[in-house]
Chain A
Amino acid sequence: MPGESKNGMQCAEFDLLLCEVLDEMLSGDRLEKFQAHGRVCPVCGPLLAEAKEGRQWLKSLQEVEPPANLVHNILVATTGLDTVRLRQPASAQPQISWAERMREWAGTLVAPVWAVARQPRFAMSFGMAFFSLSLALSMAGIKVSDLRHVDLRPSAVKRTYYEASGRVVKYYENIRFVYEIESRVREFKRATTPAEPGPAPEEQKERKNNNNTSGQPEQKQERNYSQGGDQPVLASAPNDPPVVTVTTYRRFV
């Protein structure tokens, strides 16, 4: 029992020396007294054996590996900094930046369209579409080089949008005004020239007078332009089924 003296050593002293004995730091007379107490004391004897065994079990435990992202997480949680040097140990779980994710996302959107655009039969349509778009922009007074220093604040974007659309509308109105005058002039001419019966003879006359510069061919051309203006350039190739083709190609991407 604790406090009991056996072989000149009390249980409390035995308890104190136990660690040193297991550390092999005790020797000589004290070690002998210690061992003698352990042999006869019903409490300290088993304690020595069990402590020795328990120590062995504990020593058999190996150090565990912390998670790869632990250091990274600690730094983010403390300084809020994610230093470049620390990305290396965390590379087991690759950290994709916001910009990279956006690029990937944009890529998935553009890829099907680009795949179609690369097809020879569509390349021309896309080229034409781009050409007309850039033409429209330059007509409206917007240079592609200007886009580099575009102000992206919401208010500025709004202002730019209204300015640009205003310019496009003005350009369109101007063209309409010109056509309007032209058609009025043509109507006036028709009214002043002697009346001819029916449209069919007019067509025949038209075919006969191919060299005629009286404005008839211009009228035809005007119609074509207006047709072209009403319909998107892509649809100008009547054999291409644009929507269906795009979805089909998307499946392969």
Chain B
Amino acid sequence: MLVRRCLAGDAVAWEEIVQKYNRRIYNICYRFAGSGEDAQDLTQEVFIKMYRTLKTYDVGRGAFMTWVTTITRNLLVDHFRKSKQDRVTDSMDTAPSEHEDAMPLSEQIPDKAAPPDAHVQSRETGETVHRALQKLSPELREAVILRDLQDMDYREIAAVLKVPEGTVKSRINRGRAELARLLQRTYRQVM
């Protein structure tokens, strides 16, 4: 097993772990944090944390992938809290809302986009959806990212988020619905 080899001091095993998981972690970070730059820094942080805490990984407590995703998620939450604090202290004139998902998105999302039913696979559309995703509350955002972008099952997501499966499903529903509403508003404004 890779982890055991890694703990035995096998540098190649660690390299294999990095090769195997960097893409996944980078994508989670990118979709959660929003920018490629942040995603790169956060992915690096995730691996540094993984490297330091590798010996705490317990095979009996779950899949390695779940462990990796949990580390990623916890770091993202920390990062979000920190950046939110920065935002609050930075701009006192913009009142920070309790629920980010309640904020109107129409002004922030660029008006250039395809009509909602076309769902054209264009770069612009992808960019619009990506920006709308950033407007979801972190709770809803992480839930839909893990489910719809990472294809994790509900049990795994529940383990990562440390909430019951029912709560996971509920968050996924609300996250998806909120995203649809945000994008509807955007397109309605265009038309």
Contacts and interface: CB of A to CB of B under 8 A. Distances in A.
Interface string B130-170: 10110000000000100011000010000000000010011
Most B CB within 10 A of own CB, among A49, A70, A81: A70
A141 B31 CA distance: 71
Given A54-B179, A57-B183, A70-B43, A16 B170 contact: yes
Given A19-B172, A51-B173, A70-B22, A58 B149 contact: yes
B23 A61 contact: no
Nearest to B29: A66
A67 B176 CA distance: 29
B5 to A, nearest CB: 14
A54 B30 contact: no
Contacts of B175: 54
Contacts of B130: 61
The A interface, classified by DSSP as helix, strand, loop or mixed, is helix
A165 interface: no
Interface in B4-48: 11, 14-15, 18-19, 22-23, 26-27, 30-31, 36, 40, 43-44, 47-48
A55 B48 CA distance: 33
A182 B12 CA distance: 77
Q: Size class of B's contact patch?
A: 35 or more
Nearest to A19: B169
Contacts of A59: 148
Contacts of B27: 63-64, 66
B40 A47 contact: no
A47 B173 contact: yes
B2 interface: no
Contact of A60 (B31, B125, B177): B125
B2 to A, nearest CB: 15
Contacts, number: 119
A16 B119 contact: no
Contact of A57 (B31, B44, B179): B179
A60 to B, nearest CB: 6
A74 to B, nearest CB: 5
Nearest to A53: B180
A42 to B, nearest CB: 14
Nearest to B19: A71
A54 B154 contact: no
A47 B177 CA distance: 6
The B interface, classified by DSSP as helix, strand, loop or mixed, is helix
A71 B177 CA distance: 36
B169 A75 contact: no
Contacts of A54: 144, 175-180, 183
B116 interface: yes
Contacts of A67: 36, 40
A167 B184 CA distance: 90
B94 interface: no
Contacts of B121: 60, 62
A218 to B, nearest CB: 74
Interface in A67-84: 67, 70-71, 73-75, 77-79, 81, 83
B126 interface: yes
Contacts of B173: 15, 18-19, 47, 51
Interface of A: 15-16, 18-19, 46-47, 49-64, 66-67, 70-71, 73-75, 77-79, 81, 83, 85-86
Interface of B: 11, 14-15, 18-19, 22-23, 26-27, 30-31, 36, 40, 43-44, 47-48, 51, 116, 119, 121, 125-126, 129-130, 132-133, 144, 148-149, 154, 166, 169-170, 172-173, 175-181, 183-184
Given A54-B175, A61-B130, A70-B44, 15 more contacts: A18-B169, A47-B173, A53-B183, A57-B119, A58-B133, A58-B176, A60-B119, A60-B121, A64-B27, A64-B30, A66-B27, A70-B22, A74-B22, A74-B43, A77-B48
